[in-house]
Homo-oligomer: A and B are copies of this chain.
Amino acid sequence: MRRNSIRFLLGSVLVLACWSLALAAAPPRSAGPKSAELVQVGVIDALLAGGYDGSMSLGELRRQGDFGLGTFDALDGEMVVLDGVVYQVLSSGQVRKAPDNLTTPFAQVTRFAPDVSCPLTPGADLKAVEASLNTAVGDANCFAAVRLDAVFETLTARSVPRQSPPYRPLAEVAKEQAVFHFTSVRGTLVGLRGPAFVRGLGVPGWHWHFLTRDRLRGGHVLTFVLSSSGAGPVARLERLRRMELLLPERGLGGLDLGRDRAAELKAVESGK
């Protein structure tokens, strides 16, 4: 009897434990499978307007995704999230692993699970690579994430210096960017693409951050040319058809986000 009770008990525990795990793993709202998601902290127009106060810790950000881009509280450098590690490219050009208690005012991350491969042409430049990737993605009206491990004949990247309040608009601050020139460099590009309709909220088009293979240098990418020797590298990408926007609980500091900042964004992104 005792043995039977114990067996029944153990059986019940197992059943319930499995049920618990199933519940915990289930998507929160629907019974169907969820598609890949981009999680965005903050709003690009707020960043352009000088909203540099961090609203989410990097510890929390890492729970939202393992791959992506962003910046840090007080605009202290360029963020690259790669393999679950948050790298901080300081304006000195040096890279450090950012501590979990640092915060971010703007970041975009995903749990990266690429399901499309895109072979690239040796010697291709940024524009040619983006064109190949657009063809591989197929749909212009979804988000996409791309990882490219490659050798670059040349690559220029930049970072921005830490700011102090009162914060100036990003277009002004970006003029003080530090630009880094790499030649024959091996490393990893982290790329995210937003559809045209995210203007105001996110970044339409491609947005690239770079880390050298030793993860000691990097930045926001301005230009590159792939190595022309050997076979071209293969980008791995994923379409994302869900986006979760997380606004700061305390608000965006009363910033006036009524006007169109598309031209400012373009200037800032291209480093001009």
Residue numbers of A with Cβ under 8 A of B are: 1-2, 5-6, 8-9, 12-13, 16-17, 19-20, 23-24, 26-30, 32, 35, 43-46, 60, 63-64, 138-142, 195-201, 241-249, 251-252, 254-258, 260
Contacts and interface: CB of A to CB of B under 8 A. Distances in A.
A19 B28 CA distance: 16
Contacts of A255: 141
Nearest to A14: B16
Nearest to A258: B196
A245 B141 CA distance: 13
A28 B244 CA distance: 13
Nearest to A252: B141
Contacts of A248: 241
Given A12-B9, A20-B19, A257 B197 contact: yes
B9 A20 contact: no
Q: Among the interface residues A5, A8, A32, which one has the most CB atoms of the partner chain B within 10 A?
A: A5
Contacts of A245: 242-245
A42 B246 CA distance: 18
Contact of A142 (B9, B251, B260): B251
Nearest to A55: B241
Contacts of A197: 43-46, 200-201, 257
Nearest to A248: B241
A227 B137 CA distance: 54
- A-B pairs with the 8 shortest C-beta distances? A5-B5, A16-B16, A197-B200, A241-B247, A23-B24, A20-B20, A141-B252, A139-B251
A108 to B, nearest CB: 13
Contacts of A196: 45, 200, 257-258
Q: Among the interface residues A9, A27, A197, A260, which one has the most CB atoms of the partner chain B within 10 A?
A: A197
Contact of A198 (B142, B201, B252): B201
23 contacts: A5-B5, A5-B9, A8-B9, A9-B12, A13-B16, A16-B17, A16-B20, A24-B24, A24-B26, A27-B28, A29-B63, A29-B64, A30-B64, A35-B249, A139-B254, A140-B257, A141-B247, A141-B251, A141-B252, A142-B251, A196-B200, A200-B201, A243-B244
A198 B199 CA distance: 8
